[in-house]
Chains A and B, each alone.
Chain A
Amino acid sequence: DIQMTQSPSSLSASVGDRVTITCRASRGIRNDLGWYQQKPGKAPKRLIYAASSLQSGVPSRFSGSGSGTEFTLTISSLQPEDFATYYCLQHNTYPLGFGPGTKVDIK
């Protein structure tokens, strides 16, 4: 199985901050990666697919990059509605696997 790790596991940030979350795969997954935002009591919402393609309707302050084993999600200017938990998902190889999540809260 491909193991997914995320760093940091949590972070505190202020509105307007630039935030970067990293996701690493235990072996290469090309660009078969998505990023999700999840708020309490809600289903995950896809932000990024194919590692760097922005989901329709998602603000442009969100961006994704990377290929192979290392990927990043960047929020260029954190907004109040961005406080949430973020997950990566690899779908290159079965079993599909999520990262453990990064919780972004208010500093």
Chain B
Amino acid sequence: QLQLQESGPGLVKPSETLSLTCTVSGGSISSSNYYWAWIRQPPGKGLEWIGNIYYSGTTYYNPSLKSRVTISVDTSKNQFSLKLSSVTAADTAVYYCATYPYSGRNGWVALDIWGQGTMVTVSS
């Protein structure tokens, strides 16, 4: 069974770059049956999709963050990563990674397996 685990600094200074990694276990990040996603949730607020990446490197980003976001994949480490530049206090949130799976009968289906999330605070 796939498991995902986020890791990275819990505190980032304003104007700097937030960097997080999601480590995939129990399966291969090179599987053609998954996109890999980042989602965030500010304290007390709802969920916001950040972007997806396929093992080949194909990416899709939320237009609201696109100018600041880079998602990359490292198949040798079975990991994918998020970089968010020029952060402000508004980027303070719990960041989740998740799978976006392909189900043959239904095609691509809703985000399935989630990591536990990691809290990132933007503060000087």
Q: Are B110 and A89 in contact (CB under 8 A)?
A: yes
A76 at interface (Cβ–Cβ under 8 A)? no
B63: chain A residues within 8 A (beta carbon): 1, 95
Q: Are B117 and A43 in contact (CB under 8 A)?
A: yes
B100: chain A residues within 8 A (beta carbon): 91
B62: chain A residues within 8 A (beta carbon): 95-96
Task: Give complex CA distance A94, B65 in Å.
Answer: 13
B117: chain A residues within 8 A (beta carbon): 43
Interface size on B, residues (CB 8 A): 24
B42 at interface (Cβ–Cβ under 8 A)? no
Residue in B61, B106, B116 whose beta carbon sits within 8 Å of that of A43 in the complex: B116
Q: Are A89 and B109 in contact (CB under 8 A)?
A: no
Given contact pairs A96-B49, A98-B46, A98-B49, A91 touches B111 in the complex (Cβ within 8 A): yes
Please give me the residue from chain B that is nearest to A48 by CB atom.
B110
Residue in B47, B61, B114 whose beta carbon sits within 8 Å of that of A98 in the complex: B47
A31: chain B residues within 8 A (beta carbon): 106
Q: Separation in Å of the A46 CB from the closest CB of chain B? A: 6
Q: Are B49 and A43 in contact (CB under 8 A)?
A: no
A26: chain B residues within 8 A (beta carbon): none
Residue in A42, A49, A95, A100 whose beta carbon sits within 8 Å of that of B110 in the complex: A49
B61: chain A residues within 8 A (beta carbon): 95
Task: Give complex CA distance A48, B60 in Å.
Answer: 24
Task: Give complex CA distance A55, B109 in Å.
Answer: 11
Residues of B within 8 A of A (CB): 37, 46-49, 52, 60-64, 96, 100, 103, 106, 108-112, 114-117
In the assembled complex, 12 residue pairs joining A and B whose CB atoms fall closer than 8 Å, in A order, are A33-B110, A42-B116, A49-B109, A50-B103, A87-B47, A89-B47, A89-B110, A91-B111, A96-B37, A96-B49, A97-B49, A98-B48
